[in-house]
A = this chain, B = another copy of it.
Amino acid sequence: MKQNSMLAMILAGGRGSRLHDLTNKMAKPAVAYGGKYRIIDFPLSNCANSGIDVVGVLTQYESILLNSYVAAGRRWGLDAKDSGVFVLPPREKADANLNVYRGTADAISQNVDFVDSYSPEYVLILSGDHIYKMNYAKMLAEHKACNADATIAVIEVPMREASRFGIMNADEAGRILDFEEKPEHPKSNLASMGIYIFNWKLLRKMLVADMKNPDSSHDFGKDIIPELLNDGKNLHAYKFKGYWKDVGTIDSLWEANMDLLAADNELNLNDSTWKIYTEDVTTLPHYVGPDADIKRAFITQGCTINGEVKNSVLFTGTKVAAGAKVVDSVLMPGAVVEEGAVIHRALIAGGIRIGKQAVVGSADSEHIELVAKRVKGVE
């Protein structure tokens, strides 16, 4: 806490049900991405790289995998003396029964005691399921420079898509004038990224009041931010430029993976000054066999490739046998493609086996096919 007196809280409770079978056994922030990462590696690595030492992760749905994943703070270097990643599920208290988090604000409210124990000056609220690289220290510097009560990170989106987002209308200095959740007729194209810096004293007061309000849905976007604006508080919009993606659907998850294949992809995971840290897997480097043919691919350690791989992302420990063909597809950790199988425009879930000569997906489908069950091949 010495460095910048800001503590981060990551909201990671959501199931992400539009990801279907991928989130049966894990929460959305734990979903695999980019060959070797999980989505939550992004906010956590951003925290580590921004000099934030203490991170609370608010979990709820099928949190077992997520809890044990983030608990090992060493993955992001957040395991030093006064650092830590702390899993914060709902809990039983002397004066309260075990209850689910009712909204994003409620999740923080139920953990006011946790935040208080670090007495931070600022609290950074993050979402656990966005893919982006961002220096929160810069955002904090702007927050301080503007003497803001709260700062909200915003990104310019195409005007025609603006109505899908929470839209901030700000003046030239960046002061937020009003906020509309998914407006039919958006006045600006500055979408909220769901990233907030609050002065903790103020937020604490707001949360206590919000808990008592029976009409509140206990949500930052719907309740806390409008209330702050009502109170005439100084809300600042921090403009972010760069890659940012909320992967809510199978199509968008596939797309986000495909984005990595561009020679100059904006996310640039190869930047050694802003690394994304993740689980350290004990495997060999990947092996490429004598019959392999690989073009435009993103391939990580532990893979064994002896077939054709085109325009695809291969996650840890996947296998592509000789004569098999993987095109425009994503193979999640441990997926196996047997001899002669052909895959087009598909996302193969972790550990799934595609049998010999099987054909999955098609080159001209509109949507990406999610394969979450074994596909039998020719025996």
Q: Per-residue CB proximity of A270-295 to B under 8 Å, as 1/0?
A: 00000000001010000000000000
- Separation in Å of the A169 CB from the closest CB of chain B? 37
When the two chains form their complex, are residues A67 and B92 in contact, meaning their CB atoms are under 8 A apart?
Answer: no
When the two chains form their complex, are residues B89 and A100 in contact, meaning their CB atoms are under 8 A apart?
Answer: no
When the two chains form their complex, are residues A25 and B84 in contact, meaning their CB atoms are under 8 A apart?
Answer: no
When the two chains form their complex, are residues B25 and A114 in contact, meaning their CB atoms are under 8 A apart?
Answer: no
> Please, how many angstroms separate the alpha-carbon atoms of A252 and B93 in the complex?
25
A91 lies within 8 A of chain B by Cβ: yes
When the two chains form their complex, are residues A85 and B60 in contact, meaning their CB atoms are under 8 A apart?
Answer: no
Binds B, one of A71-79, A146-154, A309-317, A365-373: A71-79
A306 lies within 8 A of chain B by Cβ: no
With CB as the reference atom, state the residue of chain B lying closest to A97. Answer: B100
With CB as the reference atom, state the residue of chain B lying closest to A93. Answer: B62
- Separation in Å of the A31 CB from the closest CB of chain B? 14
A85 interface neighbour in B71, B99, B114, Cβ under 8 Å: B71
When the two chains form their complex, are residues A64 and B280 in contact, meaning their CB atoms are under 8 A apart?
Answer: no
- Separation in Å of the A108 CB from the closest CB of chain B? 13
A residues bordering B, Cβ < 8 Å?
A: 15, 24-25, 59-65, 67-68, 71-74, 79, 81-82, 84-94, 98-100, 111, 113-114, 117, 280, 282
A-B contact pairs, 25 of them (CB 8 A): A24-B94, A25-B94, A25-B113, A60-B98, A61-B92, A61-B93, A62-B93, A62-B94, A64-B91, A64-B111, A68-B86, A68-B114, A71-B73, A71-B84, A71-B85, A71-B86, A72-B79, A72-B84, A79-B79, A81-B280, A81-B282, A89-B90, A89-B91, A92-B100, A98-B98
